[in-house]
A and B are shown apart, each in its own frame.
Chain A
């Protein structure tokens, strides 16, 4: 029996939520950003702004150039996380097989529901889900639903029918869809991979599916198996409803830095980096983890002659696992000194901590200084847990205090959405 995988994607999510909250913003081009007064990035553009060419991730000055009447409003991550939690709770009434993919996207396996209750009419179920979501969240928060036998195709189908659409790829239509779809239209096959496939003469999904596995393995390694599965309309990774219950592999945070901020030196970006380290360490301690591998990554602001800016990343393995923001920051400093060669200014900076172990598995430190530091961090965490984030914080964080209201909650952490 063919599966009915639904991909549900909210349209212009953050902007739609803001339009739902405020009737004065409806039917107008708006953008959601971190700090509307400053030069920043448009995190989400409304459907009306998209008609003017404004896209998510675009610098605000460019958005204003394309659409002078655009209104930028400050985002409120708590609001979006809550709305996502409510939407997922509603979807859970239909199936427990839900894989949240990001804050505004989820995959659902509704094979049983469609087969037994809707007599195979998947679009009818999609219409009912959309209606219920509208009643639950408000009519300005719309979503698109793609239905297909696999996750990859459901997502493709959904993206091609935005906004507020419903579309299905049936098993009968699958061969034609694979023949006419370019491999680069699939999420996860970016330009670099697309170019390599093009050089091999593999342009459409069907060509990819027909390619001998030895050829794909030789060129892409184990990724070749996944690529062939996509080309044959199968999922390289099946829907996993337990993904959010699985232990994390890493903790990471990154930040786009505005040109005006001028990230021209290590000293200039250090407070931002400390803030990222703080958020990582705080989440690690809350979930009971410590990590040994610290990875620092950055993207240069100005590209070389070919126009593409360079991304640099390096990692360092510590002798002992840590969940202390100071240790993570100092390790980042060490990595930056060892790596060198970065062309300032930089546009994006990020930190990740990997090689995770449970804190219970760590041995007790013999040094009093370490034990005192651990007691201090524990006390600070208890204060912040009781009275709210940043009630007590390191003085270095004062340099980025203005960013805290937005940054206190990070987006895209689908594992931490409660539903």
Chain B
């Protein structure tokens, strides 16, 4: 089942040079760094004047002890999250976490 979190998170994105394309996306939660493996669905929602971008993703915790290698090694299982970006406040939230029953 889903757990509603609405936690502010720190997000790092690496963009491809010259193209509006994110090649790597990381976020930090409870001291652990998660790498987004796949964006499964994207949608937007209008909350008042703010446009909220939602990303349904699967991500796994990774270790970056040796800097940022090309393929960080996962140190935990893949999990499903919903991230949101508030385009008015320019802030990221971890909206939901899915915990298999």
Contacts and interface: CB of A to CB of B under 8 A. Distances in A.
A391 B101 CA distance: 34
B80 A23 contact: yes
Interface stretch (B7-15, B20-28, B38-46, B67-75): B38-46
Contacts of B43: 78-79, 82-83
Contacts of A333: none
A235 interface: no
Interface string A7-29: 00000000001001111100000
B48 A22 contact: no
B39 to A, nearest CB: 10
Contacts of B100: 24
A24 B41 CA distance: 14
Chain B interface, >50% SS class: strand
B47 interface: yes
B40 A36 contact: no
A24 B80 contact: yes
A388 B98 contact: no
Contacts of A71: 1, 101
B46 to A, nearest CB: 8
Interface stretch (A164-172, A265-273, A353-361, A379-387): A379-387
A388 B58 contact: no
Contacts of B50: 388
Interface residues of B, number: 19
Classify chain A: how many residues form its interface, as a range: 20 to 34
A73 interface: yes
B41 A385 contact: no
Contact of A36 (B1, B49, B58): B1
B44 to A, nearest CB: 6
A82 B40 CA distance: 15
Given A22-B98, A386-B49, A79 B2 contact: no
Contacts of B54: 78-79
Contacts of A24: 80, 98, 100
B59 to A, nearest CB: 12
A138 interface: yes
A138 B1 contact: no
Nearest to A83: B43
A386 B48 contact: yes
Contacts of A17: 41
A21 B1 contact: no
Interface in A370-404: 384-389, 391
Contact of B80 (A22, A384, A387): A22
A79 B2 CA distance: 15
B45 A74 contact: no
A-B complex: 9 closest residue pairs judged by Cβ atoms: A21-B56, A388-B48, A82-B43, A78-B45, A388-B47, A21-B41, A387-B48, A22-B80, A79-B43
Given A385-B49, A388-B48, A389-B48, 18 more contacts: A17-B41, A20-B41, A21-B56, A21-B80, A21-B82, A22-B56, A22-B98, A23-B40, A73-B2, A78-B43, A79-B43, A79-B45, A79-B54, A82-B45, A137-B41, A138-B40, A386-B48, A387-B49
26 contacts: A21-B40, A21-B56, A21-B80, A21-B82, A22-B98, A23-B40, A23-B58, A24-B98, A24-B100, A36-B1, A71-B101, A74-B2, A78-B43, A78-B54, A79-B41, A79-B45, A82-B43, A82-B44, A138-B41, A385-B49, A386-B48, A386-B49, A388-B47, A388-B48, A389-B47, A389-B48
